Amino acid sequence: MKAPALASTEDPGGPIVKGGSRGLAVEYRELEATGGKLEDTSERLQDLRFRGTDLCFRLRGLSALPEAAARAADAVDAAVQGLLRGIEELEDAARRLRKAGENYLGVEGRVEKELKALQRGVPALGLALYLWGHNGWGYPDRIVSELMLPDTEGAAEKLESRLSRHGFLGPIAVSKQAGNHGKVRLGGTARSLLERVRLLEEEDAGVIEILTVVRGGQRLQIVTLPGTQDDPAPGISNPFDSLGNVEGMGGDSRYVAEAVAQALRQSGASPGDSVILTGYSEGGIHAVNIAARLAQDGEFTMEMVLTAAAPRGGRDLPAGVRALHLEHAEDWATGADGASNPDTPDRITVTGTAPVPEGDDGGLGPAHQLDVYLDLAAQADASSDPSLKESLVHLAEVIAPGTIATRGLFKLSRKPASQSPAQRPPRQGTVPALPPPRQGTVPPLPKPVSPLPMPVGPAAPPGSWLPAGPGQ
């Protein structure tokens, strides 16, 4: 199953672009605004009509020059009738424009809601969609997983809360990696930013990269977050393990966001510095959450967030925060949150449609691989879509080709739980253990308790049943 066409594209195998300043939602909102202006114009014409009608009555009431007054009254009356017809046409056009905008803006949500209701009512349909993988790989397409999976926010929040209570998720320590990590030459393209994720694979688990660019006396901080790196196990402290996905989806990346803010401060970032966040897969989930948190906190200025293969359509971003989401139509993981990305002026979703070669899928399917998204980023850079070009032109202005940045690496590690399960206080209703004796003293022995008399029943008669003993 292929994703539905969200916008026209010249290349049949090229990416599909949704959202942005030239997106359909923006155009329909402009239609709504135009409808409002027509209504305002109609109100002003109504006022002019009433004034004309009053003038007509006054002219017809004149006793002097009756012929001239009558001709003037007829002319005013004709003008008033013309105004009335114009007002009716304007009001009808305004209603049509508003209705068209409301229909478009509501249709996606209604269709998605009704399809999800249908899936819940017919479980076999959901199972069939899940097994309907592309090319027989056994993986559904993105649109299938968006419709098949329920809204996961509530369940993820409960799981995140429980994991936090038991110490599996918690605060993160940040330390700057020793050594001089050199200078980096950047290009202001989507692919050049996403390539930083590939370079992070050469570093230790839990390491993020911060590139500092100085431009005109102001600093730009470019933060790169990795995807999922390992599976959770006792003693593992990497916040980008599988449990980190739960924190991102259910906890709004509260611990990772604070750790990234600390890393920015350690890198020398000052309040007001601009920040660009890039993340792949799990790193993209965190990137959207962190962008929203940093924008709301106001310490730093959010310039842009770039995600690849990250399901975070349900997270809103403050107005003015630019976002570019790269997703592939055959990557089911991008729809794992059960929601599609919103169509807003600041958020653009680029959906890849090119065939994905079969290969090592890493467990999430061939379409989820970083190489697939590096190719998609290059297609986005070369796209002629006006919304996408506008966003990437802005990126090229922020990061001019050949820009030199200073590289810093920061290790993120979850702090151990403050109390292990054995040290936690007993639950209410349990009896606490006796305190240990002080040094040099002997704890008093408990007073003997007289045993209660136990009644003795009669002996069992021969041949009666007895519990089987060993070997019986």
Residue type, 235: G
Instruction: Tell me the torsion sign for CA atoms 201, 222, 409, 289.
Output: negative
Residue 448: partners with Cβ closer than 8 Å, 6 or more residues away? none
> Do 103 and 172 fall within a single domain?
no
Task: Quote the CA–CA distance of 175 and 195 in Å, as a whole number.
Answer: 24
Task: Quote the CA–CA distance of 31 and 35 in Å, as a whole number.
Answer: 6
Task: Quote the CA–CA distance of 353 and 142 in Å, as a whole number.
Answer: 11
> Do 157 and 233 fall within a single domain?
yes
> Do 268 and 389 fall within a single domain?
yes
Residue 327: partners with Cβ closer than 8 Å, 6 or more residues away? 142, 308, 309, 334, 341, 349, 350, 351, 352
Please indicate, yes or no, if residue 145 is contained in any of the structural domains. Answer: no
Please indicate, yes or no, if residue 188 is contained in any of the structural domains. Answer: yes
Please indicate, yes or no, if residue 143 is contained in any of the structural domains. Answer: no
Task: Quote the CA–CA distance of 324 and 339 in Å, as a whole number.
Answer: 16
> Do 99 and 172 fall within a single domain?
no
Please indicate, yes or no, if residue 446 is contained in any of the structural domains. Answer: no
Please indicate, yes or no, if residue 421 is contained in any of the structural domains. Answer: no
Of the candidates 217, 227, 312, 326, the residue with the CA atom closest to the CA atom of residue 274? 217
> Do 339 and 258 fall within a single domain?
yes
Q: How far is CA 15 from the centre of its chain?
A: 20
Task: Quote the CA–CA distance of 116 and 146 in Å, as a whole number.
Answer: 9
> Do 117 and 155 fall within a single domain?
no
Q: Strand pairing partners for 347?
A: 323, 344
* Structural domain span for residue 228: 151-356+365-414
Of the candidates 385, 11, 380, the residue with the CA atom closest to the CA atom of residue 191? 380
Please indicate, yes or no, if residue 191 is contained in any of the structural domains. Answer: yes
Q: What is the dihedral of CA 455, 461, 465, 468, to 10 degrees?
A: 70
Task: Quote the CA–CA distance of 124 and 127 in Å, as a whole number.
Answer: 5
Residue 316: partners with Cβ closer than 8 Å, 6 or more residues away? 292, 342
Task: Quote the CA–CA distance of 48 and 71 in Å, as a whole number.
Answer: 20
Please indicate, yes or no, if residue 457 is contained in any of the structural domains. Answer: no
Per-residue pLDDT of the chain (472 residues; tens, 9 = 90+): 333 334 444 455 678 888 866 555 555 555 555 656 666 676 776 677 677 777 776 766 665 556 766 777 777 777 777 777 777 777 777 777 667 666 665 555 555 555 555 544 444 455 445 545 444 445 656 665 565 555 556 777 888 888 888 888 899 999 999 888 889 999 889 999 999 999 998 899 999 999 999 987 789 999 999 999 876 555 568 999 988 988 988 888 999 999 999 999 999 999 999 999 999 999 999 999 999 999 999 999 999 999 999 988 778 898 889 999 999 988 888 877 777 788 788 899 999 988 887 766 567 788 889 999 999 999 999 998 888 888 899 999 999 888 999 999 999 999 876 543 434 444 444 444 444 444 444 444 444 444 444 444 444 444 443 344 444 3
Q: Are strands 183-186 and 274-280 parallel, antiparallel or unpaired?
A: unpaired
Please indicate, yes or no, if residue 76 is contained in any of the structural domains. Answer: yes
> Do 94 and 186 fall within a single domain?
no
Report how many domains make up the chain: 2
Residue 447: partners with Cβ closer than 8 Å, 6 or more residues away? none
> Do 65 and 211 fall within a single domain?
no
> Do 167 and 113 fall within a single domain?
no
Supply the CATH number for residue 241's domain.
3.40.50
> Do 82 and 186 fall within a single domain?
no
> Do 344 and 244 fall within a single domain?
yes
> Do 198 and 108 fall within a single domain?
no
